[in-house]
Amino acid sequence: MTIEEFSTELVWYGSKEQMQDFYLMPKVDHYEYYFRQGPFYHGQGCVSDEIGRQLISRFKYLGQMDVSERRKAQLGAITYILPNKEQRLRLSTVGDYLQRESLVIRFLHSFGNSCENYLLPEQLVTILQACHSKGLYLFCGPVGSGKTTLMYKLAKERGGQVLTIEDPVEIEESDFLQLQVNEKIHQTYEELIKLSLRHHPDVLIIGEIRDQKTILGAIRAALTGHCVFATLHASSLEAAENRAIELGGDKQLLQDCLRGIIYQELLPYQKKEVGLLMSYTFYEDQPKHFSWQEGLKQVEERKL
């Protein structure tokens, strides 16, 4: 099997099985590889040191990265042509102290092609009904838990003009106006949020709140009458609001515009399947709250 055939086989498997990431890691005298889907690892294998280096060089070449540079971290992106489809990939390489490179590939799946298993399906119905007001909604959870997919699903359900700001765009959706952060040309989250307000979107999706400028921009957009969905790294539902304040959000302004917080994780169930469990708080005339502990209790009672 040629390197071209092997790389296509790996991408085809990851695409078909809806994997999130592919890892190719150097060991003493060989390379190990595996795929990740939620908390589970699949398709583990190993190849010779030579084959591992050739695989990395091939993906770097396809991603228009510097093939000769083995020390510095590099990022790239490609659209990989498979026999029956195209698969978008995001690439990341870095060399260790011995200049042995590792490769991580993120699979960027098209919206509507992912298959989420909701451990408590009624949670999605509640969230769909609750995310209808103007204001700020925060989506929290570990990397790869489906936060972006959920925001897209909710925005699609609402309809109207949807504008997204992401770094990078992870899900392609032709019905949305998707903007990508590019700091080299000064397209930062802050600048793109300002620009987005002139478009008056029905829903504004902010890929990640990571600093004070972004949280203040999200609050400003929400206070000016927009429905804003944004992800935030927080360890739990209860920690989300404090995390937003810690990043530099004004506490009073945040409380004035915050309409809801959703926290989600992928959990194992039924022979290595994964399912999505959510907790949430919505600040409405009749507030709604569903704790993580209550969710785990219901999952246990249903013997999922």
Q: How far apart are CA 100 and CA 141, in angstroms?
A: 32
- Mean pLDDT value of segment 80-97: 92
Q: Judge whether 25 and 41 are in contact, CB under 8 Å.
A: no
Length of the chain in terms of residues written: 304
Residue 279 clears pLDDT 70, i.e. is over it: yes
Give the three-class secondary structure for 251: helix
Neighbours of 45 (CB within 10 A): 10
Residue with structure tokens 């793109």?
192
What's residue 271's pLDDT? 65
Reported as a single tens digit per residue, the pLDDT across 123-143 is: 999 999 999 899 999 999 988
39: which DSSP letter?
T
Lowest mean pLDDT among 147-151, 159-163, 166-170: 166-170
Alpha helices (runs of H) in the chain, residue ranges in sequence order: 3-16, 49-62, 122-130, 147-158, 189-197, 212-223, 240-246, 251-257, 292-301
DSSP string over 92-154: EEEE-TT--EEEEEEEEPPTT-----BSSTHHHHHHHHHTTSSEEEEEE-STTSSHHHHHHHH
Alpha helices (runs of H) in 159-285, residue ranges in sequence order: 189-197, 212-223, 240-246, 251-257
What's residue 171's pLDDT? 83
Q: Which residue has the higher pLDDT, 144 or 179?
A: 179
Residue 113 clears pLDDT 70, i.e. is over it: no
Q: Using a pLDDT cut of 90, give the percent of the chain over it.
A: 75
Domains in the chain (CATH in brackets) are 3-107 (3.30.450.90), 121-302 (3.40.50.300)
Give the three-class secondary structure for 49: helix
DSSP string over 60-75: HHHTT--TT--SS-EE
- Mean pLDDT value of segment 217-234: 96
| Cis peptide, bond prior to residue 168, ω within 30 of zero | yes
Q: Judge whether 137 and 147 are in contact, CB under 8 Å.
A: no
Q: Average model confidence (pLDDT) for the chain?
A: 92
Q: How far apart are CA 222 and CA 269, in angstroms?
A: 37
Residue type, 274: V
- Mean pLDDT value of segment 56-62: 97
Q: Judge whether 269 and 39 are in contact, CB under 8 Å.
A: no
- Mean pLDDT value of segment 145-172: 91
Please state the pTM of the whole predicted model: 0.84
Q: Which two tokens stand for residue 201?
A: 């979107």
Q: Judge whether 166 and 178 are in contact, CB under 8 Å.
A: yes
What's residue 247's pLDDT? 96
Query: Which of 62, 67, 63, 248 has the alpha carbon at shortest distance from 168?
Result: 63
Residue 3 clears pLDDT 60, i.e. is over it: yes
Dihedral sign of CA atoms 175, 176, 177, 183 in order: negative
In this structure, the strands spanning 203-209 and 227-232 are: parallel
State the pLDDT confidence band at 272, using cuts at 50, 70 and 90. low
State the pLDDT confidence band at 285, using cuts at 50, 70 and 90. confident
State the pLDDT confidence band at 144, using cuts at 50, 70 and 90. confident
